[in-house]
A and B are shown apart, each in its own frame.
Chain A
Amino acid sequence: MIHLARTVALAAALFACSCGPQEPSHGTAFEDIVIHKPGEDPQDEEWTGEAPAGAVKAAGLTDALLAKADEFRKASTSKDTRNGVYVYSVTATAYGTEPEKLAARIAVLGFRDVYLSPGSSAISNASQWLRTFISSCHGYGIDVYAVKIADVAILSAESKVNDEVNSIISYNKKVSAKERFDGISADLEAHTAKSGVTVGGTKYTWNSSTNYGKGGDNDMLLKYTIDRLASAGQLCHTNSLKLNEAYWYNYQIYCDNGQLNYGAADQFLAHCDWLVTMAYMATTEAVWNKSEPVLKAASAKKSVSICLKVKINEANSDSMQPKGWQYLLDACKTLLKKGQAYDSFRGLDQFTYEGLEQMMNN
């Protein structure tokens, strides 16, 4: 009987057929929609300057540390800026069973972007730690970017760059929406190549003393860098991922001096959503002096972050950590104020969370 009814219904539908495509229903035309104003970030409406609800408790900080975190947040954030922090596997290991706590502490510090390098196996295996951490970050309105494309050895190989992007796309396909990376944080810095050795399949070597000049080795390596970022950018954007790049301030300075054809901030920004200016200097003034040319040159709004080094390593001279917590707070206040004078200023980033936490604890 059901079959008969179905058959009759199908026959009736058939005879109701008309030639040509079905007339679809329509949505709202562009001229009739509500559009948020320029500079109004989707998450800005929620910005209060306070730590996100729930994060304070989840962070599990002592009152003293919570007070420090409040100081830092107030010194480094504003309504119109976004701050990011680099998180490496050492931190992931330290918070091995408490990814939620790490996310909460990052939120309490006012960060809204995380540049995460959890180790390649965590990504390829879609580890539970990683999924929980990203999900927790998203819960606080924090975007998470995978630190990838960080080896200058792949400068000449577009396929290898694409492989790295694809590894994130592949991860994102395995997990639910809230557990996905929001993009990729590239770290393709030609100047970090070993001096005197040809870089990653090219015939060029980086030498900060001798190889500048238009058409010189440094110039050509930066051309390679931009080409690779172009490829990565297209792949990222096609797959709903944002791309930011760690940027050495001297590229812009040498372009301004006419010593490079390639390397200007806008050339990078043609393919990247923003640049993280690695202003690794020990003093506020030096950081600003190196960053300002980049802010001046970048034509896109909110496209340049200033990254302070708070990690200690063998070259402590470029880290602010030795100068102490209060110096860092003052530096942040100064740089935030100066940066906001430029439309291109995006915010203040910290390299790394591990270093920042050390400063808080000291």
Chain B
Amino acid sequence: MKRLITTFLILALAIGTSVSARAFVVSGKVSEISEDSGRLPVVGAMVLVKGSSTGSLTDADGRYSINVPEDAVLLFSSLGYEDLEVPVAGRAVIDVTMQLASEQLDELVFIGYGSVKKSDLVTSVASVSTDDLKLYPAATAAEMLKGKAAGVTVSMASGAPGSVPTITIRGSRSISASNTPLYIIDGSVASDNEFAMMSADDIASIEILKDAASQAIYGARASDGVILVTTKRGEEGQARISYNGYAGVQSLHRNFDLYNGDEWVELKKEIKAHDSNMIYADDVSVTDALSDAMMLEAYKNINYTDWESLMFKKAAFYQNHELSVRGGSDKLKTSASVGYYNQDGILKINSGYERLSGRVNIDYKARKWLTIGVNSSFGWTSRDLQNDAFYFFLTRSPLGQAYDADGNLLAYIDSRQDKNPIWQAEHEKHHTDATNYRINAFAEIKPFKGFSYRLNASYANRSVEEGQTKDSKYLGGGAVASISDDTVENKLLENILNYTVPFKNDKHKLTVTAVQSVDSRLSRNLVLKTDNLPVDKNWNFVANGEVTEYGRKYSINNLVSFMGRAQYSYDSRYFLNVAMRRDGSSRFGAESKWGNFPSAAAAWRLDKEDFLKDVDKLDMLKLRVSYGIVGNQNGIDNYTTLGLVQQQEGEFGDVYVLGYLPGSQLSNPNLKWEQSATANIGLDFGLFDNRITGAVEYYRTHTTDLLVTRALNASLGYSSMLDNLGETRTSGVDINLSADIIRSSELNLSTSLIFTHFKNRIVKIDDQVDENGKPLSQPGNAWIIGAPINIYYDYEKAGIYQYDDFEVYDNGDGTYSYLLYPTVDTDGDGIPDAELGRADVVYPGAIKVSDLNGDGIINEEDKRVYKRDPYFTLGWTTSLKWRGFDMSMDWFASVGGYVRNPLLYQEEYGGNLAGTTNGLKVDYWTPSNPTNGWPRPANVKKIQYLSTLGYQNASYLRLRTLQFGYSLPAKALKTCNIEKLRVYVTATNLLTFTRVLSYSPEVMGNKYPETRQVVCGVNLTF
């Protein structure tokens, strides 16, 4: 207001004052740089000679002209922009670029049932803008979130088209229930699948509620974090039509080799030599090594098969198109969009994903006090699935044959009758079609100033049909089909009251929110499986076969909630939020039907205190503290607390009767949500005219009442009971930093860092204790007291046994005996007097295992914890803009943690060095090449402790995105009535530094591989 008055006064003075003597005319143009539209004129800006009343206004093109003394200083000002002083210094033309005032940059952040200015935020909320998201051209917004918000971990289970990534917020807390966050799209509870169906261009912002104080308003479902998605709405003014699209190619890159034909034969010879107690593989004939006529023939003819090129494309096409229209009047505002995404699989057969999505948001101001509207969305996806055939290219022998001499596809690739994966893929189809729609209608009444009542009614429906068929030629169980229909319906009714209490002293601000909601979720499933199908058609002919399985599932859960929240601030300096949610869930036991979830948060703007307000480089410094309690009901199925019955067939003479008996699990009427209490402390800051901004947060979470299956005495008639027994602790640090390193009219360079670190540990699993009363671990489940939640629990490879470890004796018949040197000191005299005890044969080339407890025996007590979560992750985004050109790059680093790479140890994926399959090429031990990395291959002699080979440091550094763009000048576009036209090229996953042997450190090699991508795109706005 003050700025407005100042501007008005300056303007009035300028208009009423004549120009002084010794006129020296200065002219120029005043403009701003818009991220969307490039350089734009600032209309009506005041240009004033400092210290005088001489002034002028800019015209519709931002031009001005003014008479000034030669040594004058010009003062440029306009509402909403930072004031600017420019010395004339004898110049006749002065063009300036004005910056938006910082208050304008202080955008709104959605916090659930309302929004606040970012500067007034009290709780821990990470906000991600669409522009940040869209840098990475992915199928889902979830993938785009990676590295964009501190505390948010996005992991891909598979690179298959249509895969939905997993998001966890501040790590795991539950050991048995899922750690999936709660998704809220435009106020309605949604699923990760619905989020995955969204077109990124429809998203206005994504807010991630990270601490319990921000999550508590969502109560019993919020302990794993809340992702709030707000979609774009129409704005007053001329309709803007935008098209954003890109098309590109995906390709594979791997950092490992497979054995080629010759190397595979060498491997087979080595295996044969080892199994036959021979030293040198050269003494083994190829015939003996292969023991397979077809393969031998292929070897003689050097007719090797490159399975990778047979099964994978060199390049797979994908494209994305998004078209939107947004605009409206003061009464009616609309936003409509449609998006289409199509991704060919990199796998040649049975792989691909297609998505069509649409959204219409309408706001209609029916009366001055009444706004009604609707948010509606639609999505359709179609996905071909490959049933895990992708890893066969790793494991099929290069000597196997896919085709015969006439080019006909073979069923078996060798004499041993290993199946041809291409044959199998050709005779199997697996497909899903999903449709998704949501209608969210609302009415908002504002009968008097400060008060609003909003009624939300939402209905969402998601249906998935999954069909699968294996025709009669499919090897190992063909002529079968199945079809499964799943439908999930969500209904929500919400009453929301908001009241901003008026105070005479405008330093006081108090907003009170009250919410009552009823949420209902229904899921149903129908499945039919048949065999002996008379026709080789798809699953739509499932009814023609003989029924082998049919089933129907139907379940409902309801949640009734009440929530109250008060947000108070004094002088925009002191802030206090308190909230309480009360949830009643049908999933909870009869004795624990209702849960209360309180929270409190406070913030202090230190920069507004006297002791800091003179620090001119400090724009903002805010200290936040919060504490809250939230729940996780994910681990309880809909009817678990009621006790489930079990189907039981009874035989009475010749009559079979289907009856029901109590199940083996005893119902627990006290069963309730898992509960997390989190304390959070954060510091937000802005420095140097907000060129450097950021936040540092530390949190601690104590999760109790974790759901664990407790064993019961069989005499009770039940074997187990689900109970709230476990306990974990989590702590971590989130840091985000942004810097506008260069901020000028033509050149802008900005960078941001997102740092995430968390650690957790299991405190208690169940009520089992040792003789000292300490909680017991469950190694079988990899739940170890004191260890992190996500771990592998296994032995540790100490190397490979070498000849140097043994006394070697010649048996005189071409074989040798190996006597292990003592390495264990049993009598404590410092001299090893016993060999390390192992329950398997130890020989040169065997895997050496660490005796971690030093007792001279390798047993369960020598297993160690391999932490799976990284020690920290780092996202680093840098963008550079110069005139119309722009460049962005996005790096992501994950440091610490382990992966267990199946390609290095699992037989199924060729990792067992047994020669039954091909596999990842390693430098294995041989008598002539005694390496210390991998053991001597063997088949009959099974290699023991194979899994220890799989552990790899999961650290990696990846250039996720590199983008170059060019925006055509606004002036040139204006003649074509185009507001913005930008073209760009983006490459993803271009560089990766890692020791993880795979196609990607994020997706293991036994999963559908993640690809590199290069796309060309265009952003066009009319």
Contacts and interface: CB of A to CB of B under 8 A. Distances in A.
A20 B824 CA distance: 35
Interface in B797-830: 799-800, 802-805, 807-813, 816-817, 819, 824, 826
A176 interface: yes
Contacts of B817: 42
Contacts of A300: 813
B33 interface: no
Contacts of B812: 38-39, 301
A238 interface: yes
A40 B819 CA distance: 12
Nearest to A33: B803
B942 to A, nearest CB: 7
B613 interface: no
B930 A27 contact: yes
Given A15-B957, A35-B810, A42-B819, A21 B928 contact: no
B803 A36 contact: no
Chain B CB within 10 A, most for which of A17, A172, A237: A17
B802 A240 contact: no
A17 B955 contact: yes
Interface stretch (B524-532, B838-846, B966-974): B838-846
B710 to A, nearest CB: 28
B237 interface: no
B855 interface: yes
Nearest to B843: A240
A177 interface: yes
Contact of B839 (A28, A35, A38, A173): A173
Interface string A228-250: 00000000011110000000000
B118 interface: no
B896 interface: yes
Interface residues of A, number: 45
Given A237-B841, A240-B839, A33 B808 contact: yes
B1004 to A, nearest CB: 16
Nearest to B812: A38
B668 interface: no
A29 to B, nearest CB: 5
Contacts of A40: 809-810
B993 A36 contact: no
A275 B855 CA distance: 35
Interface in B830-882: 834-842, 844, 855-857, 859, 871-872
A172 B824 CA distance: 16
B813 A29 contact: no
Contact of A238 (B805, B933, B942): B942
Contacts of A13: 895, 955
A62 interface: no
Contacts of A63: none
B928 A31 contact: yes
Interface residues of B, number: 60
A48 interface: no
B839 A11 contact: no
Contacts of B38: none
B995 interface: yes
A82 interface: no
A97 interface: no
B808 A35 contact: yes
B539 to A, nearest CB: 42
B389 interface: no
Nearest to A180: B837
A29 B255 contact: no
B893 A7 contact: no
Contacts of B927: 29-31
A12 to B, nearest CB: 10
Contact of A14 (B805, B840, B895, B929): B895
A172 B942 contact: no
Contacts of A178: 826, 834
Contact of A30 (B840, B923, B928): B928
A31 to B, nearest CB: 7
B775 to A, nearest CB: 25
B811 A301 contact: yes
Nearest to A42: B819
A24 B933 contact: yes
Contact of A27 (B803, B841, B896, B955): B803
A180 B836 CA distance: 11
Contacts of B813: 300-301
Interface in B981-1019: 993-995, 997
A344 to B, nearest CB: 12
B802 A238 contact: no
A307 B1001 CA distance: 63
A256 B809 CA distance: 33
Contacts of A22: 933, 995
B933 A176 contact: no
B256 interface: yes
A89 to B, nearest CB: 25
Contact of A17 (B930, B932, B956): B956
A27 B805 CA distance: 9
A14 B896 CA distance: 9
A14 B256 contact: no
B71 to A, nearest CB: 52
B939 interface: no
Given A36-B810, A38-B811, A177 B841 contact: no
B895 A10 contact: yes
A14 B958 CA distance: 11
Contacts of B457: none
Contacts of A17: 953, 955-957, 993-995
A336 B993 CA distance: 69
A34 B928 CA distance: 14
Given A21-B923, A28-B930, A240 B941 contact: no
A163 interface: no
A27 B923 contact: no
A18 to B, nearest CB: 7
B895 A11 contact: yes
A27 B813 CA distance: 25
A236 to B, nearest CB: 9
A362 interface: no
B699 to A, nearest CB: 16
Nearest to A241: B841
A19 B1000 CA distance: 11
Contact of A172 (B837, B956, B993, B994): B837
Contacts of B872: 7, 10
Contact of B871 (A10, A21, A38): A10
B692 interface: no
Interface string B621-633: 0000000000000
A176 B838 CA distance: 9
Nearest to A7: B872
Nearest to B818: A42
A59 interface: no
A78 B353 CA distance: 79
Given A17-B995, A20-B255, A29-B928, A36 B807 contact: yes
Nearest to A19: B255
A202 B956 CA distance: 61
A169 interface: yes
Given A24-B932, A239-B839, A239-B841, A176 B855 contact: yes
B279 interface: yes
7 contacts: A19-B993, A26-B932, A31-B927, A36-B809, A37-B810, A42-B817, A176-B856
Interface of B: 255-256, 279-280, 799-800, 802-805, 807-813, 816-817, 819, 824, 826, 834-842, 844, 855-857, 859, 871-872, 893, 895-896, 922-923, 927-933, 941-942, 953, 955-957, 993-995, 997
Given A29-B930, A177-B856, 18 more contacts: A11-B895, A13-B955, A18-B995, A20-B997, A21-B922, A22-B933, A28-B804, A29-B803, A29-B927, A30-B280, A30-B803, A34-B808, A169-B839, A175-B857, A176-B856, A177-B837, A180-B837, A238-B942
The 3 closest A-B pairs by CB, nearest first: A27-B802, A38-B812, A177-B837
